[in-house]
Amino acid sequence: MGKLMDDIVKITTDHEEIREWADKYRGRPEIIDQTGGGERMVGLRIDFPGRRDENFLGENEEMEYVSWEEFFRRFDSLNLAFEYEDRGELPDPSASYRFVKRTSIMEVG
């Protein structure tokens, strides 16, 4: 995300708030399963129709649509928070959010 006015960038761990934001832009929850060097890492993303952000994923990464329940189970187990833009229509919602560690938001706030 670029530099934004503070009043349009929000950070939350509230599942319903995250889901409502994603639903507004027709986003679907996905799990990214990345393997490499003998290690397995799991990440999260929200897929939006018509966006080609898959091009930024590595060749050792596989994506799988999951239920919101499974998505939030992993979201909580990874101790994440959701940082997003809240300013009406977004030209590219896939570039308007990111996951951050909850510990990093506690240090700021």
Q: Where are the domains of the chain?
A: 6-108
pLDDT band at 4 (very low <50, low <70, confident <90, very high): very low
Mean pLDDT of 45-73: 77
CA 62/CA 80 separation, integer angstroms? 20
C-alpha pair distances (Å), 13 with each of 18, 36, 63, 100: 8, 29, 23, 10
Position 15 pLDDT exceeds 90? yes
Share of the chain above pLDDT 70, in %: 71
C-beta contacts of 50-54 below 8 A and 24+ residues apart? 51/92, 51/93, 51/94, 53/94, 53/95
Q: Are 84 and 21 in contact (CB under 8 A)?
A: yes
Q: Sheet holding 28-36: strands in order across?
A: 39-47, 28-36, 61-65
Mean pLDDT of 75-85: 96
Q: Which residue has the higher pLDDT, 71 or 1?
A: 71
